[in-house]
Amino acid sequence: MSGSPSVNDFAKPESITGGCLCGSIRYRANFPKDHDFLKLSGSCQCTQCRRNTGALIFMAHTVALRDFTYLTPTTTLKNFYATPGIQRGFCTGCGSFLYWRDESRDDVEIAVGCVDPEFLSKFGFALANASGNNVWCENEIRGVTDGFVGKVGRGIKWARSSEEAIRCKL
């Protein structure tokens, strides 16, 4: 890789670690050789994700459950269900939001902001490039988040969820 990362040339991790602010929950995510870093990076602008994360845009990276393991006991881990069957994992010690998970699927969407800094500095593009599904764009904030996906120039922009199949123009 030379210069700034691009969709054709970026560093890809074999694994990453991350965790909550207080350190009581730590995890590792391993990436198989065929992991699609572009397709599995996305964002959400729904009201639930905004309130849950405190961020205007939630950046997530999808990892297979079999490749996601805890490195610490999970005694402070709690799941909140704003929607039936959808886990939002957080630490009861510090309040850090760690992941979003649809229980009908065998993957987890890691909150990229909780990935350890040494991995974000080296592999941030691989984890948060927004080349996959960017959902709930009907909630964009004019002049603030409305140009996010268009500025990135990649990914699929959905009015709501990608399952609802209401695709927006870039």
- DSSP assignment, residue 141? P
Q: What is the pLDDT of residues 37-87, one digit of tens each?
A: 999 998 888 888 889 998 988 999 999 999 999 999 999 999 999 999 999
pLDDT score at 150: 57
CB 127 within 8 A of CB 56: no
Whole-angstrom CA distances from 116 to 39, 54, 111 are 22, 19, 11
CB 127 within 8 A of CB 41: yes
pLDDT score at 60: 94
Q: What is the pLDDT of residues 125-164, one digit of tens each?
A: 999 888 777 777 777 778 887 776 655 666 666 666 766 6
pTM to 2 decimals? 0.86
Nearest to 40 by CA among 156, 122, 121: 156
Region 8-28: what's the mean pLDDT?
A: 96
For the chain, list the domains and their CATH numbers. Answer: 15-131 (2.170.150.70)
Nearest to 137 by CA among 21, 40, 49, 46: 46
- Calculated CA dihedral for residues 9, 150, 146, 115, nearest 10 degrees: -10
Q: What is the pLDDT of residues 103-126, one digit of tens each?
A: 999 999 999 999 999 999 999 999
pLDDT classification of 33: cutoffs 50, 70, 90: very high
pLDDT score at 162: 65
User: Which residue has tokens 């990076």?
Assistant: 41
